[in-house]
């Protein structure tokens, strides 16, 4: 009986210990599960905080972005800054950044600026691919997380057009007012490289960038109008002299030569008196065309010096080669007929040639010597080439 009582007591005690052990294990598992949940929540919170910090850094940088884009009113500078900023902030300099500008006449895209992780990467789609054309057509931002699973696009067609591997991308139109300036795009060979937050930030930067690009384009147009002659589209006298100064300095630095041609239309006043000033404009435009045609393949700068006088800088040509070029030009002009008020006629020119630095090491003196050589050609009977 004694043993039976002890055995019962031992069994009851063992059951209690077992239950307590189970309870402890159960509580331990609950605590561990709770810790796992807390750890996951902490990781999630940490990730959220990191994302929030990244967003804060990005949006705080908008002021700096505006300041950087407004440093210079130059299209190439603004486009380079804009693509460099988003490539760094959003892509961490991975993959590729493509900036397309819209041609106002054809409304086609033209690749203007690229930033690439791999310098050897070749972008074949110079006028944009199916992704860019989608943005162009819809004028709205685009996010492609996995190009293979995006039903909107035929990836096989893309691979035929471009050998680059593009698995994901974000793209946004550059719109100022109602005008589409271009498209700014980031793409990656990795899936899910970009998020909706990335796309929103890209769109914000593009709003700023579009205004900066439009301002720089307007400035460039204004500058082009200021430095180009309205009738012939050649450089004006003032800008031509600036270019001559630059080219003379470059020639001195590199130990090279250049030659200057001054040409004047013979008896131009007679054309105006006989056929009228509109006919004189036709003569000037025709001469401009011949100058452009003759200068193809040459490293030349063309300018209208005023009235019926024109100038040509021939970079890298000595006096001997310049004289050959000038006489070929003279013959080409003489052999070209012009129809004025239903009457076929032709013009001739007198050309003066001076070279730098053999004739002078001063650009102003170079102009004077070329001018003097031109008047010498006039004195000798016109339709000639002379040098001092």
pLDDT at 26: 63
pLDDT of residue 23: 62
| Token duo for residue 141 | 């931002």
- Reported pTM: 0.67
Distance CA 303, CA 280 (A): 18
Dump pLDDT digits (tens) for 282-316: 899 999 999 999 999 999 999 999 899 999 999 99
What pLDDT score does 274 carry?
A: 83
Phi, psi at 383, each rounded to 5°: 55, 45
Secondary element (H or E) of residue 64: helix 62-69
Q: Phi and psi of 385, rounded to 5°?
A: -120, 130
Q: Give the closest residue to 183 by CA, choosing from 163, 169, 164.
A: 169
- Element (DSSP H or E) covering residue 205: helix 196-227
Confidence (pLDDT) at 159:
63
Domains of the chain: 62-219 (3.30.450.40), 237-387 (3.30.70.270)
Q: Fill in the DSSP letter of residue 249.
A: H
For 45, 77, 159, 160, the CA distances from 119, given in Å and listed in that order, are 38, 20, 20, 22
| CB of 179 closer than 8 Å to CB of 213 | no
- Render 143-192 in DSSP notation, one character per residue: EES-TTT-TTS-HHHHHHH--S--SEEEEEEEEETTEEEEEEEEEESSTT
Q: What is the pLDDT of residue 73?
A: 82
pLDDT, residue 137, reads 93
Token pair belonging to 169: 């991308």
Give a three-class secondary structure readout of 69-138: HCCCCCHHHHHHHHHHHHHHHCCCCCCEEEEEEECCCCCCEEEEEEEECCCCCCCCCCCCCHHHHHHHHH
User: DSSP class of residue 140?
Assistant: S
Alpha carbons within 13 angstroms on the beta-carbon side of residue 353 total 22
DSSP annotation of 302 reads E
Residue 327 backbone class (left: φ over 0; alpha: ψ -120 to 50; beta: rest): alpha
Residue 292 zone, left/alpha/beta (φ > 0; ψ -120 to 50; rest): alpha
Q: What pLDDT shows up at residue 54?
A: 61
Residues of the chain with pLDDT under 50: none
Query: 263 Cβ partners below 8 Å, 6+ apart?
Result: 309, 310, 311, 312, 326, 329, 349, 350, 351, 352, 374
CA atoms of 200 and 206, how far apart (whole Å): 10
pLDDT for position 277: 78
| Tokens describing residue 115 | 């930033």
pLDDT per residue over 314-323, tens digit each? 999 999 999 9
Q: Are 109 and 136 in contact (CB under 8 A)?
A: yes
């Amino acid at each position: 009986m004694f043993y039976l009582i002890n055995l019962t007591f031992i069994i009851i005690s063992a059951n209690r210990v077992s239950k307590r052990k189970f309870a402890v294990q159960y509580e331990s598992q609950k605590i561990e599960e709770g810790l796992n949940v807390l750890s996951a929540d902490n990781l999630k919170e940490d990730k959220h905080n990191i994302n929030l910090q990244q967003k804060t850094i990005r949006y705080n940088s908008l002021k700096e972005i505006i300041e950087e884009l407004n440093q210079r009113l130059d299209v190439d500078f603004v486009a380079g800054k804009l693509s460099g900023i988003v490539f760094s902030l959003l892509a961490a300099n991975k993959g590729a950044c493509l900036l397309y500008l819209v041609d106002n006449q054809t409304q086609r895209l033209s690749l203007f600026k690229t930033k690439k992780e791999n310098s050897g990467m070749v972008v074949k789609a110079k006028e944009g691919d199916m992704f860019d054309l989608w943005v162009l057509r819809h004028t709205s931002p685009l996010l492609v997380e996995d190009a293979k699973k995006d039903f909107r696009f035929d990836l096989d067609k893309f691979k035929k057009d471009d050998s680059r591997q593009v698995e994901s991308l974000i793209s946004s139109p550059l719109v100022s007012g109602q005008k589409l300036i271009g498209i700014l795009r980031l793409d990656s060979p990795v899936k899910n490289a970009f998020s909706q937050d990335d796309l929103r930030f890209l769109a914000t930067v593009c709003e700023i960038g579009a205004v900066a690009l439009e301002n720089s384009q307007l400035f460039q147009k204004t500058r082009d109008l200021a430095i180009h002659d309205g009738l012939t589209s050649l450089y004006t006298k003032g800008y031509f002299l600036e270019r001559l100064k630059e080219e003379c300095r470059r020639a001195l630095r590199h130990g090279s030569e250049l030659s200057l041609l001054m040409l004047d239309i013979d008896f131009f006043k007679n054309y105006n008196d006989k056929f009228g000033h509109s006919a004189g404009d036709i003569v000037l435009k025709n001469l401009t065309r011949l100058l452009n045609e003759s200068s193809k393949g040459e490293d030349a700068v063309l300018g209208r010096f005023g009235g019926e006088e024109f100038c040509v800088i021939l970079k890298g040509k000595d006096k001997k080669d310049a004289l050959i070029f000038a006489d070929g030009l003279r013959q080409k002009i003489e052999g070209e007929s012009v129809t004025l008020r239903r009457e076929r006629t032709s013009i001739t020119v007198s050309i003066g040639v001076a070279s730098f630095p053999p004739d002078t090491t001063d650009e102003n003196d170079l102009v004077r010597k070329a001018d003097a050589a031109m008047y010498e050609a006039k004195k000798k009977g016109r339709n000639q080439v002379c040098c001092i």
